[in-house]
Amino acid sequence: MDYQFSRAQSGAMETFESLVRTEFAPKNTYLNTASTGLVPARTVAAMRTAVEAAAVGRPTDMFADVEASRASFARLVGVPGHRVAAGASVAVYSGLIAASLPSGAEVLTAEGDFSSVVNPFHVRSDLKVRTVPLERVAESVRPGTALVAVSAAQSADGRVADLPAIREAAREHGTRTYIDASQATGWLDFDADAYDYSASVAFKWLVCPRGVAFLVVPEDLGGLTPLFAGWVAGEHPWDACYGPIDELADSARRFDESPALFSYAGARRSLELLEELGVDAVRAHDLALADRFRAGLASLGHEPVPSPGSPIVSVPGLGHRQAGLSSAGVEVSDRAGNLRAAFHLYNTPADVDRLLDVLSA
């Protein structure tokens, strides 16, 4: 039995690695997915086909690509497709949620969270925005808190929010939840159905082109008003091109932004790849590399920001090494003086060792 299990595991690993080798061939040591993910070969080909077809006046049906992308993302986060809106920006969707709150409502956020998550609530001067350390978000939910808005994983340093605790605290106090999963979807086992709202850009861990983002809303649409509804928000979009829309979509599509169609032509293929690979396999791969880097840092005398269970590793005091690392062909980020490395499906143990070698020089 042990032998059969190991063979099954080996076969799954070979399939994972062969798919990745087919789709990605980075020319450097790219460890910067928390900024921008690499785009698969199938995605590049799909976008090239769409652009070339449009150039000769025979465009492909890229609206079908939007719907396929919506459905694929929905499967990845565990909700039906009719609860997913397709757009381009988390900030837009944060603003939509902020606009739905009554004057005087209290919003609880985490210190240092990404601006696209929190700033739309701050620009409404009639809201009460309360900010606490990430580790204290769950315990800080109280009677009268209308909304908790927090990233699933922090952009700056990779710390993962205690989402189950936040969910339970919110339920206890009748508080709605809004999760930005931009640094999580693609590797974290994220269940969007557990929260009222969630949003995610797709150009990071979902390895899509820029210009793609998704919003998940409740079955009852969450009391949101589609303030930026254009013709694509109509139940029958091609009949909603002129004048006021007679009938908004009865699904989350009423919150669609007019899509960046070439980006969605590619996103469809990127999301298909992630479904083929499986998020569980991606997570295991990513976290093993991050742990290898943490162990190597310890041997060099460096201590990263504690971020267990995250593929993002942030090292205080080493941000100044970013330019030199880039010159050596190793791409990472400098965030607030910290060196931030992010490990994803196209990375290998050799990439980790290369980063450690350059840092040790």
Q: Where are the beta strands (DSSP E) in the chain?
A: 29-30, 84-87, 106-110, 128-132, 145-151, 176-180, 197-201, 213-216, 312-315, 330-331, 333-335, 338-342
Q: How confident is the model at residue 284 (pLDDT cuts 50, 70, 90)?
A: very high
- How are beta strands 213-216 and 84-87 bridged, if at all? antiparallel
Is residue 45 a part of any domain in this protein?
A: no
**CATH code of the domain covering residue 152:** 3.40.640.10
Q: Considering 246, 276, 306, which residue would you say is the last residue of a domain?
A: 276
> Are residues 78 and 165 both part of a single domain?
yes
Q: Are residues 199 and 281 in the same domain?
A: no
- The predicted-structure confidence for 317-349, as pLDDT tens digits, reads as follows 999 999 999 999 999 999 989 999 999 999 999
Q: In terms of domains, do 213 and 106 share one?
A: yes
**131 is a domain residue:** yes
Q: Are residues 7 and 144 part of one domain? A: no
109-134 as b/e: b if 16+ CB within 10 A: bbebbbebbbbbbeebeebbbeebeb
Contact assessment for residue 108 and residue 147, using Cβ atoms and an 8 Å cutoff: yes
Residue 47 lies in a domain: no
Three-class secondary structure assignment of 105-125: CEEEEECCCCHHHHHHHHCCC
Cα distance between residue 275 and residue 268, in whole Å: 11
Give the CATH number of the domain where residue 286 resides: 3.90.1150.10
In-domain check, residue 46: no
Q: In the structure encoding, which two tokens stand for residue 217, read together? A: 């809303």
Alpha carbons 282 and 137: distance in angstroms, whole number: 28
In this predicted structure, the answer to whether residue 159 has a pLDDT above a threshold of 70 is yes
Give the pLDDT band (50/70/90) at residue 144: very high
Domain contains 185: yes
Q: What is the pTM of this model?
A: 0.94
Dist. CA 334–CA 323, nearest whole Å:
9
Q: Out of 222, 241, 276, pick the residue that ends a domain.
A: 276
User: What pLDDT was estimated at residue 82?
Assistant: 98
What would the pLDDT profile of 246-277 be if each residue is shown by its tens digit? 999 999 999 999 999 999 999 999 999 999 99
Instruction: Give the pLDDT confidence of 108-126 residue by residue, as tens digits.
Output: 999 999 999 999 999 999 9
Average pLDDT over residues 290-294: 98
Q: Verify that 308 and 236 share a domain, yes or no.
A: no
With 0-12 / 13-18 / 19 or more C-beta atoms within 10 angstroms meaning exposed / middle / buried, residue 327 is exposed
Query: pLDDT at residue 2 above 70?
Result: no
Q: Is the dihedral of CA 95, 97, 101, 104 positive or negative?
A: negative
User: Do 254 and 297 lie in a common domain?
Assistant: no
Share of the chain above pLDDT 70, in %: 97
Query: What integer pLDDT is reported at residue 253 of this predicted model?
Result: 98
> For residue 320, what are the CA distances in angstroms to 112, 263, 300, 325, 357?
20, 34, 17, 9, 16
Quote the Cα angle for 135-278-340, to 5°: 45
Tally of structural domains, the chain:
2
What's the chain's length in residues?
361
- Residue 247 forms part of a structural domain: yes
Q: According to the model, what pLDDT value does residue 336 have?
A: 84
Q: Are residues 257 and 247 in the same domain?
A: yes
Please check whether residues 181 and 285 belong to one and the same domain. no
Q: Is 173 within the bounds of a domain?
A: yes
Same domain (yes/no): 86, 214 = yes
pLDDT of residue 4: 45
The Cα–Cα gap between 344 and 188 comes to 12
My answer on whether 174 and 216 are in the same domain is: yes
pLDDT for the residue 13: 72
Q: What is the pLDDT of residue 7?
A: 46
SS3 233: helix
Last residue of a domain, one of 253, 276, 299: 276
**Judgement on whether residues 241 and 331 belong to the same structural domain of the protein:** no
Beta bridge partners of 110: 132
| Dist. CA 180–CA 191, nearest whole Å | 12
- Is residue 10 one of the residues assigned to a domain? yes
Residue 294 sits in the same domain as residue 263: no
301: containing domain: 2-39+277-360
Residue 18 — very low, low, confident or very high, per pLDDT cuts 50/70/90?
very high
